[in-house]
């Protein structure tokens, strides 16, 4: 059966054909690790995981590469403002290198909790300086760069089709310039290399043919994708906000350097919103996976919520919606585990599932089909085997759920640690107070030989 995917370049659903038979190279723009990921960021990774699993379901071997931006992503897309990493460092009092490590680890934990498949390669921008510098040197040799007081810039006027994917109207943009663009020749030009400011040393800076400084944000993805997947590969993904600036700039650089449009298919996940506004880290207080678990929701309920909407439509987050997703997931888990093993997956149902998911990842339709299967009166063992095959794509991890499994929210875990510390210092009153607080949050503590055990208070 054919696979059809929406390509942002052509702005239509196209049949998917890989460059090499049976293999797919896929590059996904990863997190900027200056803070925790919010659930909006995570929606994009869930979409990318669904895409990868769908490709694998169709028999492809996927070389999945995800980068980690640990330098160069400025607060403003206009090439000014602080580096997000240095900002994170100032806020937390830790070094930029330490926060990169800390938030990368936090991101990996979210990745695992959402049952996202590990990419073949994680690549960090700070580990690819020679590749990025080499790329910029090549652009310079080809005459695409110019120098200003604060860096080396890409000259977008050298390309007639700059911004094609975003269908940018450059003249209108230039005419409407309201902000100072400094020495930049055009509003769409962007930094390839930024010089370290003379008066302050940056924590992350390197020597280069142009002087001490750091790479611009876009160059890392062109350089690292070329290093791992070559100068033309199958699919490039990111969130919808990347179309106009980040991906337009990646394409411009790669077109100038290698003469390709970088990827054959460009795919974008649409925003998760609250009150009709994109969830953003810059908003200060933002929802992350832990915020959901503090309210008693497990990560896979969030995954289910995302699957229930098409990746190419904006999704409005609500607690009621998440509750409905959690209930649906719970029923699915219980049904799956009630059904006996020993069946063989039913080809008819799988065909129906494939038709839905191969139609530009219609996961909402696929979930509806799962419910039709659950409500059908077919052989239960066959149903279970079919559901198992489908879950290889949906990734709800039905198989590993145990009827008595439960998640202890991190706030409760923290209280349990505090209580343990109080007990060790023989502060019995404080320990009792904490036990009560834990009880209020729905858990009982049992002090066994192997240490305290937390169980949900079902009484």
Ligand X SMILES: Nc1ncnc2c1ncn2[C@@H]1O[C@H](COP(=O)(O)OP(=O)(O)OP(=O)(O)O)[C@@H](O)[C@H]1O
Annotated binding site for ATP: 281
Q: Which stretch binds ligand X (CB under 6 A): 41-49, 159-167, 342-350, 397-405?
A: 41-49
Q: Which residue is nearest to ligand X (CB)?
A: 239
Nearer to ligand X (CB atom), residue 304 or residue 339: 304
Q: Which stretch binds ligand X (CB under 6 A): 144-152, 234-242, 383-391, 395-403?
A: 234-242
- At 265, phi and psi to the nearest 5? -130, 135
- Binding-site residue set for Zn(2+): 29, 221, 246, 250
Cβ-based neighbours of 197, under 8 Å, separated by 6 or more: none
31 binding ligand X? (CB under 6 A): yes
3-state secondary structure 147-206: ECCCEEEECHHHCCCCCCCCCCCHHHHHHCCCCCCCCCCCCCCEEEEEECCCCCCCCCCE
Residue 341 near residue 382 (C-beta atoms within 8 A): no
What minimum distance in Å lies between the beta carbon of 84 and Zn ion? 14
Q: Which stretch binds ligand X (CB under 6 A): 137-145, 280-288, 345-353, 403-411?
A: 280-288
Among residues 1, 118, 119, which one has the least CA distance to residue 59? 1
Enumerate helices (H) and strands (E) in the chain, giving the number of each: 15, 16
What minimum distance in Å lies between the beta carbon of 250 and Zn ion? 6
- Binding-site residue set: 29, 221, 246, 250, 281
How big is the CA angle at 238 (ends 127 and 272), to the nearest 5 degrees?
A: 125
Residue 116 near residue 395 (C-beta atoms within 8 A): yes
Using the structure block, give the residue that is written with the tokens 């585990």: 337
Give the whole-angstrom CA distance, residue 70 versus residue 105: 13
* Residue 249 binds which entry of ligand X, Zn ion, none, CB below 5-8 Å type-dependent: none
Residue 99 near residue 92 (C-beta atoms within 8 A): yes
Nearer to ligand X (CB atom), residue 71 or residue 272: 272
Among residues 275, 370, 259, 365, which one has the least CA distance to residue 314? 275
Nearer to Zn ion (CB atom), residue 221 or residue 245: 221
Sign of the C-alpha dihedral computed for residues 151, 157, 260 and 10 taken in this order: positive
* Residue 40 binds which entry of ligand X, Zn ion, none, CB below 5-8 Å type-dependent: ligand X
Within a 10 A sphere around the Cβ of 13, how many other Cβ atoms?
13
How far, rounded to the nearest angstrom, does the alpha carbon of residue 232 sit from its chain's CA centroid?
22
How far, rounded to the nearest angstrom, does the alpha carbon of residue 77 sit from its chain's CA centroid?
19
Q: Which stretch binds ligand X (CB under 6 A): 25-33, 199-207, 354-362, 403-411?
A: 25-33
200 binding ligand X? (CB under 6 A): no
Within a 10 A sphere around the Cβ of 69, how many other Cβ atoms?
21
* Residue 388 binds which entry of ligand X, Zn ion, none, CB below 5-8 Å type-dependent: none
The footprint of Zn ion (CB under 5 A) covers: 29, 221
Nearer to Zn ion (CB atom), residue 120 or residue 374: 120
Instruction: Figure out which of the listed residues 40, 119, 216, 409 binds ligand X, where binding follows CB under 6 A.
Output: 40
Q: Which residues on adjacent β-strands are paired with residue 454?
A: 445
119 binding ligand X? (CB under 6 A): no
Nearer to Zn ion (CB atom), residue 29 or residue 100: 29
Q: Which stretch binds ligand X (CB under 6 A): 90-98, 221-229, 266-274, 423-431?
A: 266-274
Instruction: Figure out which of the listed residues 83, 220, 241, 298 binds ligand X, where binding follows CB under 6 A.
Output: 241
Residue 168 near residue 251 (C-beta atoms within 8 A): no
281 binding ligand X? (CB under 6 A): yes
Sign of the C-alpha dihedral computed for residues 394, 398, 399 and 405 taken in this order: positive
Q: Which stretch binds ligand X (CB under 6 A): 132-140, 264-272, 298-306, 380-388?
A: 264-272
Instruction: Figure out which of the listed residues 41, 145, 222, 363 binds ligand X, where binding follows CB under 6 A.
Output: 41
Instruction: Figure out which of the listed residues 139, 224, 279, 322 binds ligand X, where binding follows CB under 6 A.
Output: 279
Give the whole-angstrom CA distance, residue 307 versus residue 54: 13
Q: Give the interface with ligand X as residue ranges (CB under 6 A).
A: 29, 31-32, 40-41, 43-44, 238-239, 241-242, 269, 271-272, 278-282
């Amino acid at each position: 059966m054919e696979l059809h995917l929406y390509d942002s370049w052509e702005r239509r659903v196209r049949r998917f054909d890989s460059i090499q038979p049976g293999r797919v190279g896929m590059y996904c723009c990863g997190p900027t690790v200056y803070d925790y990921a919010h659930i909006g960021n995570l929606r994009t990774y869930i979409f990318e995981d669904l895409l990868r699993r769908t490709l694998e379901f169709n028999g492809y071997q996927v070389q999945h590469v995800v980068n980690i931006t640990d330098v160069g992503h400025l607060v403003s897309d206009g090439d000014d403002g602080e580096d997000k990493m240095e900002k994170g460092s100032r806020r937390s009092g830790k070094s930029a290198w330490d926060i990169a490590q800390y938030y990368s680890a936090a991101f990996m934990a979210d990745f695992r909790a959402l049952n996202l498949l590990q990419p073949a390669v994680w690549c960090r921008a700070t580990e690819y300086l020679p590749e990025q510098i080499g790329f910029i040197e090549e652009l310079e040799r080809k005459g695409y760069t110019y120098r200003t007081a604060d860096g080396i810039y890409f000259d977008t006027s050298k390309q007639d089709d700059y911004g094609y994917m975003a269908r940018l109207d450059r003249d209108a943009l230039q005419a409407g310039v309201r902000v100072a663009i400094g020495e930049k020749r055009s509003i769409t030009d962007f930094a390839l290399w930024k010089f370290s400011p003379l008066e302050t040393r940056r924590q992350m800076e390197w020597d280069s043919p142009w002087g001490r400084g750091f790479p611009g944000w876009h160059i890392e993805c062109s350089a690292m994708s070329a290093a791992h997947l070559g100068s033309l590969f199958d699919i490039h993904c990111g969130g919808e906000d990347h179309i106009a600036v980040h991906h337009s700039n990646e394409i411009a650089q790669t077109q100038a350097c290698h003469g390709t449009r970088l990827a054959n298919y460009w795919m974008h996940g649409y925003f998760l919103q609250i009150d009709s506004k994109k969830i953003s880290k810059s908003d200060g207080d933002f929802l992350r996976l832990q915020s959901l678990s503090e309210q008693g929701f497990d990560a896979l309920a969030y995954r289910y919520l995302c699957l229930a909407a098409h990746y190419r439509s904006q999704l409005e987050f609500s607690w009621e919606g998440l509750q409905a997703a959690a209930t649906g997931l719970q029923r699915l888990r219980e049904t799956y585990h009630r059904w006996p093993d020993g069946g063989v997956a039913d080809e008819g149902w799988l065909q129906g599932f494939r038709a839905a998911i191969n139609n530009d990842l219609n996961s909402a339709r696929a979930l509806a089909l799962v419910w039709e299967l659950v409500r059908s009166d077919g052989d239960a063992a066959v149903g279970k085997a079919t559901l198992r095959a489908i879950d290889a794509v949906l990734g709800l991890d039905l198989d590993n759920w145990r009827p008595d499994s439960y998640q202890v929210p991190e706030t409760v875990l923290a209280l349990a640690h505090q209580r343990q510390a109080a007990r060790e210092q023989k502060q019995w009153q404080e320990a009792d107070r904490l036990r009560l607080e834990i009880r209020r949050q729905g858990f009982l503590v049992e002090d066994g030989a192997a240490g305290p055990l937390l169980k949900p208070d079902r009484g």
